[in-house]
Amino acid sequence: MSVYTPVSDAELNAFLTQYDIGERVSHTGISAGIENTNYFIDTTQGRYILTLFEHHTADELEYFLDLMAVLADKNVPTAKPIKQKQGNILSILNGKPAAIVTCLKGSTLDKKEPNFAQCEAIGKALASMHLAGKNFPHQRDPDRGALWRTRAGKELLDQNELDADDKQLLIQELKYQANVDFDSLPSGVIHADLFRDNAMFDGDTLSGIIDLYYACNDAFLFDMAVVVNDWCYRADGSINEQKLLIFLNAYHQVRPLEENEQILWFAMLKAAALRFWLSRLKDKLTPREGELTQVKDPKEFKAKLNVLNQSQALIESCWVERFDYDEKRVSNG
């Protein structure tokens, strides 16, 4: 959500004539994230989010925006796309596809450590999202799936800037993942990027899952692994098994987990950590230009890969059947 495409007051005023959301009062660029251009728009009727899509095609955007509308209609907390006066969701602004969505209450956790209640809330909401997308008619392959991870990893191994320690770990992880088959896992529509900065909370209440522009059809377990790798670590970099178990149990209450998901859980946690280590390495070595860009540190996920490799026994011991659910512990976390 960096600002790559500037939008002037006059340009936005003209753009908003296509909508029934009032007149522009102000708009401010949002610097968090790295893929699209985003603005807060304050109008005479309220606050909205404007997104200018920097890389996606019209077909991809139909998938994302239709999915957001479906999820909102099925009471999964997420932003809802605003239709133009003519009924369209997607438009063009400054040469880029653009859309406006509702602005949700609350704020993201970003770098704040989630408490137990928030881990429970995101677990239930993620499972609800997976079930809500069951009959979604569109299909989209993942941007950063297994094939991409293999290709990106091999490309990075050819980079002179990659240090010896990174190369050793990358070779090890690519070899490990080459022997894992995730095709048997339950799959469907997933978020694929559900970090803390993509979830809005009003206190401990989840008000919305946002930024669905990596959404695709893939294994549900990948979505869960992305959440755990961001939400369930302590400040010292170690895995917080209580949060991990709370998240798993909350998810399991809504969509019961299957035996093959338990078997592949450790491998998927590593695959998800590898995915974000690779993408951040690529962004660091070949950055894109932007007016307010944010390149995230790849060292975070390199460290998490190392922690996972040292914590296989802990990971495999933490699964839903072992969790003695304690309401007081969750509410006071």
Domain termination site, one of 103, 126, 153? 103
In terms of domains, do 88 and 157 share one?
Answer: no
Structure tokens at 107: 């704020």
Pairing of strands 37-43, 216-219: unpaired
Output the domain CATH number for residue 32: 3.30.200.20
Residues 90 and 83: their CA atoms lie apart, in Å, by 8
In terms of domains, do 322 and 214 share one?
Answer: yes
In terms of domains, do 276 and 207 share one?
Answer: yes
Structure tokens at 45: 């009727």
| List of the chain residues with pLDDT < 50 | 1, 291-292, 323-332
Residues 207 and 211: their CA atoms lie apart, in Å, by 13
- pLDDT at 284 (0 to 100): 86
Compute CA distances 207 → 46, 107, 199, whole Å: 17, 9, 8
In terms of domains, do 88 and 188 share one?
Answer: no
Entry pTM: 0.88
- pLDDT at 329 (0 to 100): 45
- pLDDT at 1 (0 to 100): 44
Domain termination site, one of 35, 69, 103? 103
Output the domain CATH number for residue 265: 3.90.1200.10
Q: What is the extent of the structural domain holding 59?
A: 9-103
Q: Is residue 2 one of the residues assigned to a domain?
A: no
In terms of domains, do 93 and 172 share one?
Answer: no
Structure tokens at 259: 């035996």
Structure tokens at 76: 């999964």
- pLDDT at 292 (0 to 100): 42
- pLDDT at 59 (0 to 100): 80
In terms of domains, do 215 and 307 share one?
Answer: yes
- pLDDT at 205 (0 to 100): 97
- pLDDT at 17 (0 to 100): 97
Q: Is residue 4 one of the residues assigned to a domain?
A: no
- pLDDT at 58 (0 to 100): 83
Count of the separate structural domains present in the chain: 2
Locus of tokens 């200018």: 52
Q: Is residue 153 one of the residues assigned to a domain?
A: yes
In terms of domains, do 219 and 312 share one?
Answer: yes
Q: Is residue 77 one of the residues assigned to a domain?
A: yes
Locus of tokens 């991409």: 148
Q: Is residue 317 one of the residues assigned to a domain?
A: yes
In terms of domains, do 61 and 196 share one?
Answer: no
Residues 212 and 46: their CA atoms lie apart, in Å, by 22
pLDDT, tens only, 57-108: 888 899 999 999 999 999 999 999 999 999 999 999 999 999 999 999 999 9
In terms of domains, do 153 and 273 share one?
Answer: yes
In terms of domains, do 18 and 132 share one?
Answer: no
In terms of domains, do 133 and 13 share one?
Answer: no
Q: Is residue 3 one of the residues assigned to a domain?
A: no
Domain termination site, one of 61, 77, 103? 103
In terms of domains, do 35 and 179 share one?
Answer: no
- pLDDT at 34 (0 to 100): 65
